[in-house]
Amino acid sequence: MKLLALILAYLISHTIKKPDKLRDFTWYKNWARWFEKSSGIKSPELNVILTVAIPVTVIYFILSLLFGSVLGVLLVSVLILFYVIGPHSLKEDAESGEIHKRLGLRKNTKVSTLIKTMTEVSMHRWFGVFFWYVVLGVAGALIYRLSERLDFYTENDNELKSTTTRLMKVLNFPAAWMMVISLAIASDFERIFKKCKPYMSFENIKSMDDSFLYEATDFAVEICEIEPDEQKNVELVTLSVLKRMLVVWLVVVSIQVILAI
């Protein structure tokens, strides 16, 4: 069921342009601001948890009541995944010819910075959602997207910012390792493994430092993928690598489904 929902949601999101209304999370931004001002909760951690948990619970409960059948569960999963993927398309950004502008980068930005930014964006738009959907189902996908949006909407001078940032580190770190494993499989396993080996330490796990992912992706694109005599757009090569990583994820989930039968 999860595999089918992932495949359908991915195909739909890459073939149908998402309406602007489905890209808009203003309702959640307004909810988060209202809850912060009205709840009277002094603990930043509890405030952030409830800001995410309440809408997730309400949405999940309503959809569970409306769609109780197996087909209904599949439909809900696809709809939720389609909604939380993005909200903007990385493919559209890469093929637009103005990816630097869309990602908030300068035109003369270093190649490595562009690659790392695209990797981070893919984490937020694809991989984080898919990872937590596989782990926790529809609730996991909603938790990741609403947590990411909360961190995005929370200003740096807000006392909740450090808490939302920590929450995203917790959500991103396991997904980052899965991304690196899929990158190694989709690219040059031996060289990617050597690149990430220094980060395999207790200190790295404790700090949840996911910089290894961005270093590995930059290495894979610049060293393993782009030939010196080739004139390719870096953003398109990076997008291709990220898509191959996603395919590896789908294959792994497929194997898990087959073994579970």
Give 181-231 pLDDT, tens digit per residue.
999 998 888 888 888 888 888 888 888 988 899 999 998 888 877 665 554
Whether residue 256 is predicted with pLDDT greater than 80 in this model: the reply is no
Residue 159 backbone phi and psi in degrees, to 5 = -65, -15
112 close to 218: Cβ distance less than 8 angstroms: yes
d(CA 168, CA 148): 7
* Radius of gyration from C-alpha coordinates of the chain: 19
Whether residue 97 is predicted with pLDDT greater than 90 in this model: the reply is no
d(CA 70, CA 156): 43
Share of the chain above pLDDT 90, in %: 43
Q: Structure pTM?
A: 0.91
d(CA 32, CA 142): 15
Average confidence (pLDDT) over 162-182: 94
Task: Find the farthest-apart pair of alpha carbons in the chain and give their distance in angstroms, rounded.
Answer: 61
The pLDDT value given to residue 155: 92
The pLDDT value given to residue 14: 80
The pLDDT value given to residue 23: 84
Residue 34's nearest CA partner among 20, 55, 15, 16 is 55
